[in-house]
Structure formats: structure tokens, C-alpha cells
Amino acid sequence: MSAWETVKDNWRVVLLVFMLVLSTVFLFAPAFDSTANAAAAQENPTNLKYGLQLSGGTRIRAPLVGVTAEGVQFGNQSTAEVERAVAAELPNADSADVIARRTAGSATGTVELVADNATQQRLANALDAAGFEYETVRDGVTEATREQTVAVLRSKINAAGLSGGTVQTVETISNEHFVLIEVPNQDRSEVVDIVNSRGTVQIAAYHRVTRNNTTRYVNTTVITQEDFQTVGTAQQGGQGTGPHVPVSIKPSEAERVQRLFVQTGVAGQGGTDCSYRQSPQSTEPCILVIRDGNVVSSFGMNPSLAQSMHNDEWAQDPQFILVTGSFERAQAVSIDLRAGALPAALALDEGTTSSISAAQGENFKRDSLIIGLLAVLTVAGVVFARYSRPQVAAPMVVTALSEVVILLGFAAFIQYPLDLSVIAGFIAVIGTGVDDLVIIADEVMAEGAVNSRRVFESRFRKAFWVIGAAAATTIVAMSPLAFLSLGDLQGFAIFTILGVLVGVLVTRPAYGDILRALLTDR
């Protein structure tokens, strides 16, 4: 028999070997290593990507706070006017809590209420009071808001220097939308701190006004998030100022900002001394940095800055520093200003969070490897005890293992993050794989020796009907898990199904060929 004919006769085995070589390349060849830096490559000898469970990190899955009214009749009012009108009807809400969006080319649109205490009833009442007609009110926010929130969350995570973090939206089968945030190598509390605040920052003037013969202090908003031209990183600062964030104002807004500071008395002659913390009812005018409704810091204006505002010079070069009192607050303010405010906040109390330390990830990695190896050894033990002939049992174990190698190669190729559920899938694949190999072996060896190719082929085909049927039921049973977003089990289902497919199409037929070569006399 010529070499070519041998290859042709055993093409299934050739295919298996080819797949194994390919998988090995994907697994180990540095060219396919996506981790660019050398240090990471050394820690991880394979190209496998590990999920948070095995490498450590934090995952947060939560819906966004908010209710939406659809089909609201805007008439000829602008979205900003609608937002103000609706917000005016809601106590404890400002226009940042109401988002109006016009449906392109129509007089209708959506109005979302994204305040913490948003309910369908509150939004409906406010729309009625403001005189807007609408079709329906539902829970949840619009897709546009969701996308903007994801973009802001991404830039917040980047601004905080958390590398490798990802943010995406996921949709459940019941049409609920969740935001999924994954940040490697970070504690739960750090990530929650960053994503849990909406991060609206505004700069207000705190000053005295006299109305109807009574004098009291009020906040006048001077600068909002959109007014900043540039925002620097947090600075430690020297003596005097202390930790701060350098900022500059858009030229178009500079005149207005300057005028407001002068009018409110903050830019008073000779600067202002702020004693907001100690004596809020008797202080000179102050600048307040307000983040999510809380006063982060209060400070006066130094004489030279106040002078340049008075002289109408500051607006030519509108920059100053935001004094924050502590470096941590300077960082938080800087991140919020640069990333922007979240259109809608995350409802952490309606979602899940999961955080694993790097050390625990290492333990899980080691432990699950041991569990996998023990499972393989057990299978091998039972198979050898059942078939005392090593030429039947040994290829069986090797074939089952090669299914796992092919799946690992595939996982490395598509960079699927390995988690405990995927490992469970691998162990399940070994289990089903050996089951089918047992069917093939028993069928082929039934009723006496296999001494001709014809006998072998016919028996193999009969065995294959059962294997195909069994594979189909496993795929049908696992597919709900692969499509339902049942948390961490998608990986388990996907890899079990893939394993069954690889088994039926590649490895199990190859085992048949190997068995034939070992059992038939030519």
C-alpha cells in the first residue's frame, strides 16, 4: 500500500493530528500571544486567557436606574425646555435627572427620569402636571442613555488607571438590560467607588442675598461639567493650596463665569476668606466644589485672581485651580470631570457583584487543574479495568484527552476567558467523550474478531447512529444555557456543546480508524 493510500484510508486520523497540531500552535506559539508585554507572557506559559475567577478581579452586573415615558408630545419645545419643565414638577430633582430625547423627524420623543427614587408614577404625575401627553411609561432607560452611560463608565475606568477593564451591556431573554463591568486585579470596593457615583460635579458660589428684608446664604451654580475646556490630573500641591485639580474654562463661557464670580462677591476686592466649614452663617463668599450633591470642598479666592477678574483680565486666559482638601478627593473630582457624569446611575442593589483576589484565582487555577487530572485518571482507570486490552483502552484515553486539547486550543484562539464553569465543561466533555468511545469499542468488537474492513465499517456505522443521537440530545439539552444569560454558566454550555461537536466530527471517527488499524488483519 502506497503512502498516499495510507493517508487516504486514515484521513480521519490525519484530520485529528492536524487539529491537534493547530491547537498546540494556538496554545503555545508566541506569535498568537495577545499579551504584548514580556512579563505577562512569562507568568503565563500558554496563550490561554483566564477569566476573573481564575486570575482575580471584580465583576459588576447591574441595571441602570430610571423610568422612561415613550411617545411624549414635545410640540415645538426644545428638549432642554422639556427637561426643565418636567424637572420643575418634581421635588428633589434637577434637570440633570430628566433626559428628553426627540425621535428624529417627529414632534414626539422620550422622557426619562433617572433620579434614585424614580418610579413610573412619579414620572407620569410630573408629565401630567407639566402638560405633556405621552403613550406609555415603563421601567428602564433608553438605548441611547445606556450607550452613553457605558461610554462614560469606560472613560471613568480608564481615567482611574484601571487597565484591562471592560464595560458592556448585556440583554437577558426577558429583554432586561444590564451593564456588565469587569476589571481585572482590583478589589470590589475600589471598583464600586468609581462606578457607583454619578459623578456630577459643579462649582457654585456660596454667598449672601437679601430678599424681602431677610438675608440668607444661597448657592449659585457658576460652572457645570460642560463648561470646562481642560481638566488636569490631581496634584499634590505645595504649602498653601494643598491637593488640587488645575482646570480651564471654555472661552465662550469665560465672560459669564467671570461676571458671576464678581456679582456674587466671591471675586471681592482683596480676595475672599472662606470659613464655610466653621461658620457657614457668617462667612465671606465661598467657592464650593459640589459632587453628586455633596460639598467636597470650600475655599476662598486669592487676591490676585480676584483682582484679575475685577479688571476683566481673567476671561482672556480663563484658568484656575480647584482646591479639594485631600488628594483622594482631588482624584475623584478629576476623574469625574474628565470622564463626565453618568447619564443614569447603576442600580447595584438590583444586580450582582463578584470579586476574587489574585491569590484566590491562583488557587482556583491550581485546584481545578488537579480536579481535571484526577477526573481523567479515574476515567482511565475504569476504562483499563473494563478492557484489559491496552490497544483498546489506551487510544480511548488519548482520544478523550485530545478533545480537551482541541477545545483549549480553540479557547486560546478566540481568547475566550477560562472560568470555573468552562473547566466544568471540559470535565463534562471528557465524560461524554469516553462514553461514546465505549460505544464504538463495544460495537466494533462485538461477536468475534474483526477480520475484514467491510465488517468493521458496517459495525462502525451502526455505532455512529447511537453516538449521533446521543450528541444531538446533549446539544439540545445544553442550548438553553448557551443562550440564556444565566450568569456564569454560558461558558459551561458553550464548551460542552463545542466538545460534543468536535467529538462527533473529528475525534470519535478517528478513534474508529485507530481501532481498525489495531484490530483488523489486513
Span 389-448, contacts to other proteins by CB under 8 A: 420-421, 423-424, 427-428, 430-432, 434-435, 438-439, 442-443, 446
- Indicate which single residue of 38, 367, 449, 452 sits in contact with other proteins (rule: CB under 8 A): 367
Give the interface size with other proteins as a residue count (CB under 8 A). 79
Sole window of 2-10, 27-35, 361-369, 410-418 interacting with other proteins (rule: CB under 8 A): 361-369
If one asks whether residue 168 binds other proteins (CB under 8 A), the answer comes out as no
Query: Grid cell 482541541 — which residue?
Result: 406
Q: Indicate the residue among 340 and 503 with the shorter CB distance to other proteins.
A: 503
Strands lying side by side in the sheet with 294-299:
214-223, 201-211, 286-291, 294-299
- Indicate which single residue of 356, 407, 408, 498 sits in contact with other proteins (rule: CB under 8 A): 356
Q: Shortest distance, CB of residue 399 to other proteins, whole angstroms?
A: 14
Of 377, 373, 387, nearest to 439 (Cα)? 387
Q: Shortest distance, CB of residue 298 to other proteins, whole angstroms?
A: 28
- Indicate which single residue of 48, 183, 379, 504 sits in contact with other proteins (rule: CB under 8 A): 379
Stretch 449-478 residues interacting with other proteins (CB under 8 A): 462, 465-466, 469-470, 472-478
Stretch 26-65 residues interacting with other proteins (CB under 8 A): 61
Lookup: cell for 467: 453516538
How far apart (Å, rounded) are the C-alpha atoms in residues 18 and 411? 17
Q: Indicate the residue among 82 and 467 with the shorter CB distance to other proteins.
A: 467
Q: How many CB atoms lie within 10 A of CB 412?
A: 24
How far apart (Å, rounded) are the C-alpha atoms in residues 459 and 445? 9
DSSP 63: P
With 0-12 / 13-18 / 19 or more C-beta atoms within 10 angstroms meaning exposed / middle / buried, residue 104 is: exposed
Of 405, 399, 357, nearest to 507 (Cα)? 399
- Indicate which single residue of 386, 389, 453, 461 sits in contact with other proteins (rule: CB under 8 A): 386
Tell me whether strands 214-223 and 201-211 are parallel, antiparallel or unpaired.
Answer: antiparallel
Of 273, 267, 263, nearest to 307 (Cα)? 267
Lookup: cell for 94: 434637577
Sole window of 127-135, 156-164, 238-246, 367-375 interacting with other proteins (rule: CB under 8 A): 367-375
Lookup: cell for 379: 476515567
Stretch 491-510 residues interacting with other proteins (CB under 8 A): 492-493, 496
- Indicate which single residue of 176, 273, 312, 457 sits in contact with other proteins (rule: CB under 8 A): 176
Q: Shortest distance, CB of residue 359 to other proteins, whole angstroms?
A: 7
Q: Indicate the residue among 26 and 492 with the shorter CB distance to other proteins.
A: 492
